């Protein structure tokens, strides 16, 4: 069964090569064939004995290997129809193609694949986030200068950094969950765009396949342009988050910082790589690839309705490939985090040299000297500029130096003891003063850890529910198909 090339683009349709049989989608299309035939028999559109014969032939391919059996006859998404027709003859086997089109096969097959891949990606993300939480717990109180615009800034902790990355990955998880809800809708029964001219039961097919419902409008079901953009877009954002994690670790491990040590040969054997930097470099390259796939999808989906259907095969394969690559790399980062070693002493010493601490010097001037905020900040900035000009850091600031700069600005009221200056410019004290919700201080970080762990537990619980729902649907499909096989039937071969 083939579609008539639409509108002004018949030459384009005829020039396209036959779609390949893909190992990633073949098992899902096999389930779709089973569900479609069960629905046709239950709807009395195909005789039970004919349906049983077709179902039996489809079941035979499971022993042979579903992909191998389909690949041997070719036909892309139509391989199931081609296979049963070759084995049973056109009069019988051809009935598998009754009341459906290549367009709905393509749309449904990709959605079946995409929902499985999304569940796999969710699990991989939860594992990575659990590794980040473990890293945060292990390094909760270890001071480090945060990175802003590629350079050091205010003090925080390695634990706070890890929870920051987890927060971003939480949004990536939420995007996958939301996308799953839109992906898990059935286009089956939509025909070429206007539905079937037979009374097919679209909801029954959706139920057998474990879909949450229908893409109700039949035109939209086979001619939508946004699903591929959402799928590749979610991957592009996710890989950018992962690449940011990689970039931060590479920056900390690089020359001039040396704040962390990445696993070498010993760690590489465990990680399946030669060394930690190779893992991180691979993640950075993966992000670049994902942006390329998104750009390809964007250009392919642009244009009048359904024109993208002609070139979507290449886009779908790119989306399948990049999603597989992401799925393979996420566990590598999770494993690497457990091997990273932090030089807490060096990180704290470097953080103490950052003049971003001057913000708390201004606060101390206001608190102890009663200075107005704008005057205190003006003096703190002048002290910072004086130190930078002299090549000294905040850890060397003396009460005498503060008094000198204050005198130059006519701020005689600015008098702090050395103890007050040291407390204001101590990076650990800086962090401990910031224990509000989401902050790096001990209480704030502890609450952040509890919140992050709670989000993962909830996410895993809902993920398990989705897996159970799909398993129940597969069992129901199998029972329905096998039930038709047990019914007495006549020989249906043409």
Task: For residue range 153-212, list pLDDT tens digits in order.
Answer: 899 999 999 999 999 999 999 999 999 999 999 999 999 888 888 999 999 999 999 999
Q: Which residues contact 167 (CB under 8 A, 6 or more apart)?
A: 452
Stretch 130-142: mean pLDDT: 96
Residues above pLDDT 70, as percent of the chain:
92
Stretch 402-415: mean pLDDT: 92
pTM: 0.89
Q: In the prediction, which pLDDT does 464 show?
A: 98
Residue 135 has pLDDT above 90, yes or no: yes
> How confident is the prediction for the chain on average, in pLDDT?
90
Stretch 387-412: mean pLDDT: 94
For residue 282, how far is the Cα from the chain centroid?
A: 16
Residue 493 has pLDDT above 50, yes or no: no
Q: In the prediction, which pLDDT does 311 show?
A: 64
Q: Which residues contact 169 (CB under 8 A, 6 or more apart)?
A: 125, 128, 129, 132, 238, 241
Cβ pair 104, 187 in contact under 8 A: yes
Residue 235 has pLDDT above 80, yes or no: yes
Q: Which residues contact 69 (CB under 8 A, 6 or more apart)?
A: 60, 61, 83
Q: In the prediction, which pLDDT does 260 show?
A: 94
Q: In the prediction, which pLDDT does 9 show?
A: 46
pLDDT in tens, 349-368: 999 999 999 999 999 999 99
Q: In the prediction, which pLDDT does 494 show?
A: 38
What are the b/e assignments for 166-205, b being 16+ CB within 10 Å? bbbbbebbebbbebbebbbbbbbbbbbbebbeeebebebb
Q: In the prediction, which pLDDT does 265 show?
A: 37
Q: Using H for helix, E for strand and C for coil, what is the string for the chain? A: CCCCCCCCCHHHHHHCCCCCCCCCCHHHHHHHHHHHHHHHHHCCCCCHHHHHHHHHHHHHHHHHCHHHHHHHHCCHHHHHHHHHHHHHCHHHHHHHHCCCCHHHHHHHHHHHHHHHHHHHHHHHHHHHHHHHHHHHHHCCCCEEEEEECCEEEEEEEHHHHHHHHHHHHHHHHHHHHHHHHHHCEECCCCCCCCCCCCCCCHHHHHHHCCCCEECCCHHHHHHCCHHHHHHHHHHHHHHHHHHHHHHHHHHHHCCCCCCEECCCHHHHHHHCCCCHHHHHHHHHHHHHHHHHHHHHHHHHHCCCCCCHHHHHHHHHHHHHHHHHHHHHHHHHHHHHHCCCEECHHHHHHHHCCCHHHHHHHHHHHHHHHCCCHHHHHHHHHHHHHHHHHHCCCHHHCCHHHHHHHHHHCCCCCCCCCHHHHHHHCCHHHHHHCCCCCCCCCHHHHHHHHHHHHHHHHHHHHHHHHHHHHHHHHHHHHHHHHHHHHHCCCCCCCC
Q: In the prediction, which pLDDT does 14 show?
A: 52
| Distance set, CA 251 to CA 131, 158, 248, 261, 451 (Å) | 20, 14, 5, 11, 28
Residue 2 has pLDDT above 50, yes or no: no
Higher pLDDT, 134 or 152: 134
Q: Which residues contact 490 (CB under 8 A, 6 or more apart)?
A: 49
Length of the chain: 494
Cβ pair 286, 296 in contact under 8 A: no
Stretch 375-393: mean pLDDT: 95
Structural fold of domain 109-192+218-346+449-466: Fumarase C; Chain A, domain 2 (1.20.200)
Residue 271 has pLDDT above 50, yes or no: no
> Which is nearest to 238 in space by CA: 146, 330, 301?
330
Residue 308 has pLDDT above 70, yes or no: no
Q: In the prediction, which pLDDT does 120 show?
A: 98
Q: In the prediction, which pLDDT does 309 show?
A: 60
pLDDT in tens, 38-93: 999 999 999 999 999 999 999 999 999 999 999 999 999 999 999 999 999 999 99
Query: Please, what is the end-to-end C-alpha distance for the chain in angstroms?
Result: 18
């Amino acid at each position: 069964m083939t579609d008539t090339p639409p509108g002004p683009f018949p030459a384009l349709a005829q020039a396209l090569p036959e779609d390949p049989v893909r190992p990633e989608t073949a098992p899902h299309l096999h389930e779709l064939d089973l569900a479609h035939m069960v629905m046709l028999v239950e709807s009395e559109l195909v005789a039970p004995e004919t349906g049983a014969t077709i179902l039996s032939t489809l079941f035979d391919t499971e022993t042979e290997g579903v992909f191998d059996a389909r690949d041997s006859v070719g036909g892309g998404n139509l391989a199931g129809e081609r296979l049963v027709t070759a084995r049973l003859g056109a009069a019988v086997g051809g009935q598998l193609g009754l009341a459906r089109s290549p367009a709905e096969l393509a749309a449904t097959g990709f959605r079946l694949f995409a929902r499985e891949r999304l569940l796999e990606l969710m699990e991989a993300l939860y594992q990575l986030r659990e590794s980040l939480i473990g890293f945060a717990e292990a390094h909760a109180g270890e001071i480090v200068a945060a990175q802003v615009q590629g350079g050091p800034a205010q003090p925080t902790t390695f634990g706070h950094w890890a929870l920051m990355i987890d927060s971003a990955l939480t949004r990536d998880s939420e995007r996958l969950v939301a996308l799953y809800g839109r992906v898990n809708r059935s286009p089956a029964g939509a025909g070429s765009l206007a539905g079937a001219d037979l009374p097919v039961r679209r909801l029954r097919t959706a139920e057998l396949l474990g879909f949450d419902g229908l893409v109700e409008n039949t035109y939209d079901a086979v001619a939508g342009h946004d699903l591929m953009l959402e799928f590749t877009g979610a991957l592009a954002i996710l890989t950018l988050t992962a690449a940011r994690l990689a970039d931060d670790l590479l920056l900390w491990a690089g020359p001039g910082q040396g704040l962390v040590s990445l696993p070498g040969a010993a760690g590489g054997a465990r990680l399946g790589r030669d060394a930690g930097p190779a893992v991180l470099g691979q993640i950075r390259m993966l992000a670049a690839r994902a942006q390329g796939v998104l750009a390809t999808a964007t250009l392919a989906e642009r244009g009048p309705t359904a024109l993208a259907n002609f070139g979507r095969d290449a886009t779908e394969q790119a989306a399948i490939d990049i999603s597989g690559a992401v799925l393979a790399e996420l566990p590598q980062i999770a494993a690497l985090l457990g091997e990273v070693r932090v030089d807490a002493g060096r990180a704290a010493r470097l953080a103490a040299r950052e003049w971003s601490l001057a913000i708390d010097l201004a606060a101390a001037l206001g608190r102890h000297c009663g200075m107005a905020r704008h005057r205190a900040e003006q003096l703190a900035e002048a002290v910072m500029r004086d130190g930078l000009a002299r090549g000294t850091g905040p850890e060397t600031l003396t009460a005498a130096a503060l008094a000198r700069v204050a005198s130059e600005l006519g701020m005689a009221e600015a008098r702090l003891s050395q103890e007050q200056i040291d407390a204001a410019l101590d990076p650990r004290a800086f962090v401990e003063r910031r224990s509000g919700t989401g902050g790096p201080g001990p209480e704030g970080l502890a609450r952040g850890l509890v919140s992050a762990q709670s989000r993962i537990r909830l996410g895993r619980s809902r993920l398990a529910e989705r897996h159970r729902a799909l398993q129940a649907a597969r069992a129901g499909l199998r029972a329905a198909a096998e039930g038709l096989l047990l019914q007495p039937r006549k020989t249906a071969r043409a």
